[in-house]
Structure 1
């Protein structure tokens, strides 16, 4: 392992204070670089968050970002804990999978990263799987040597023992193939799909092959369902939490993911399901059938993993999604917190699709303020409709429909929305029913937010 003196030699001789990053002068960059090599994981996470937040803010590259690269490269090859995250940072600074023409400091950074091509090839055989996976991303950033990178990674695939690294290799080679930096990629991926023993790597192969122009339309819905069934048949242990806290964005995201995966035995399938569903592109009918199959499953993890692909599908492509919205609404009665949370987000994103209008109003339906649907009022009192506008509509909802499920959620979280704002929204239930609003909602004319 390289000692600190060698690792940071020359770091303090650079005039960092004369340079700028996203939030001002870059005088703190030496401390951040040292923090990336700190043995304390919390200190490393704080330094990494600051690097992404200021020195490489939203993918931007500044002069100080370019000047930091030589020191980041030393950390990458130092064998220290957290080196894989630094490799990913350098790959991102080098442009990642951006295929367009770069200018200024961004072009300088890409040239510096590409010049280290042999170094990334060596790291791709590192003892640590996280470093190997990150090195694959760095090779993916070497766009001017895309053909060489693809050839190296295809040869490396046969030697790689870790499934996660093999999946990263597949994604990198497929990306280079789509960008026309490598030839014959579709045939290579198809051959691996037929021979790869690991189910999760096969799901990656399926998703990547389904997006390659040479294989467009060849993969079927039944093949995707069979692969997903095989993936969910395998159980493992929930991911181990990192065990520390930092007041950073990266830390908050990590802790949120740890909480979401706490009870899961197949957490890795979350991103794989998204990739498989999205790989069908404009084949809306097949994507809808796929998410419907998952949302209707008895296994709560399948339903959980189908939530975000459902939202992306409905927001991105025209189609009939009332049945899908109803299935999503039913998840609000789930005992699993994460599934309920995602269901709320999906229904919120679906908007009017989550509550199609009824064909006729029930005879005794009343709005939150006690008025019949369609009547008007000029009352400005809290709990009453304001302005000469039609009162919010309310109607009986079918058990399990998105509207009744959303109201069930509102009953569970009475403090989630302001009572004063409730007057502008419908109560999705009817008096005397099982979903009759609680006293806090009735007294304020409350309901669900618009």
Structure 2
């Protein structure tokens, strides 16, 4: 069964000791029965080859492998049987020399592999966050998560994934540390990780002081509000305009369709 938010390598000699709960990437690659795991387009039989290319020293090869490795396990915001081992593999290669060395070797039109992997982890974590669970419970009843084994498995894996993401929160490159923060925010909803809220709040304030990225600003402002922080003094004129725009969109949607947030899904637009 899949859960949809849209309703409905040769062994590397450079592998480092992994954080607790996060296996080495080669172990994940070798020990997973990929062909038995469902994806959006069949099974994960082709995933090992694509995942292996993510650690290629050639950034062009890595770039072309991203869609083949990640697309089949997150199609239409769904989580599949193969999503969790792919997510753990991605977390396990965040410090791989080929990826970290490529941070400053990309052209102006291509984001570093490290940033793209963090963005994928964050997007997938948002697809399995508490808000999604609340929405599903409004549709299918409390406890429906028991029926969504793939989502439950991803949520259980959040501490292991966070252990790799956390190491990048202080990265020298602003794009990397900001993407790490956005990925960390939904991960720390796990009960074992909520103690990291104060630390992430500090990172969030630093992002707001430096970044103009609309998506990043929206995510950290929403997180700070959810954690009980006053955010009005942190907003700039663009944030205020965006907040007012989202409010107008919500009002128009509610007027047309009824109270569309009544089922527990309250994330701000864009739709």
User: Is residue 104 of structure 2 the alignment partner of residue 104 of structure 1?
Assistant: no
Segments ≥4 residues shifted beyond 6 Å: 315-318
User: Is residue 85 of structure 2 the alignment partner of residue 53 of structure 1?
Assistant: no
Q: For residues 43-442 of structure 1, what are the structure 2 equivalents within 5 Å? A: 43-78=61-96, 79-81=100-102, 82-96=113-127, 98=129, 99-101=131-133, 102=145, 103-142=148-187, 143-144=189-190, 148-160=195-207, 163-164=210-211, 170-176=217-223, 181-184=226-229, 187=230, 189-193=231-235, 202-207=236-241, 210=243, 277-281=245-249
TM-score w.r.t. structure 2 length?
A: 0.62
Q: In 1, are the aligned partners of 2:94 and 2:164 still within 8 Å (CA)?
A: no
Decide whether aligned partners of structure 1 residues 121 and 205 sit closer, same or farther in structure 2, where only a CA change above 3 A counts: farther
RMSD: 3.4
Q: Which has the larger radius of gyration?
A: 1
Q: In 2, are the aligned partners of 1:87 and 1:135 still within 8 Å (CA)?
A: yes
Decide whether aligned partners of structure 1 residues 31 and 120 sit closer, same or farther in structure 2, where only a CA change above 3 A counts: same
- Match of residue 4 from structure 1: 12
Ranges in structure 1 where 5+ consecutive residues have no aligned partner? 194-201, 211-275, 285-314, 319-450
Q: Secondary structure at the match of 2:45?
A: coil
Residue by residue, what CA displacement relative to the aligned partner does 1:85-124 show, whole Å, maximum 9, x if unpaired? 1112222333447413243111211221244435433311
- Match of residue 35 from structure 1: 53
Residue by residue, what CA displacement relative to the aligned partner does 1:190-220 show, whole Å, maximum 9, x if unpaired? 1223xxxxxxxx2453256x3xxxxxxxxxx
Decide whether aligned partners of structure 1 residues 104 and 182 sit closer, same or farther in structure 2, where only a CA change above 3 A counts: same
TM-score w.r.t. structure 1 length?
A: 0.40
State how far apart, in whole Å, the 2-side matches of 1:162 and 1:38 are: 35
State how far apart, in whole Å, the 2-side matches of 1:97 and 1:25 are: 21
> Which structure is higher in RCO with an 8 Å CA cutoff and minimum separation 6?
2
State how far apart, in whole Å, the 2-side matches of 1:175 and 1:27 are: 38
Ranges in structure 2 where 5+ consecutive residues have no aligned partner? 1-10, 16-23, 103-112, 134-144, 257-271
Q: Secondary structure at the match of 2:211?
A: helix
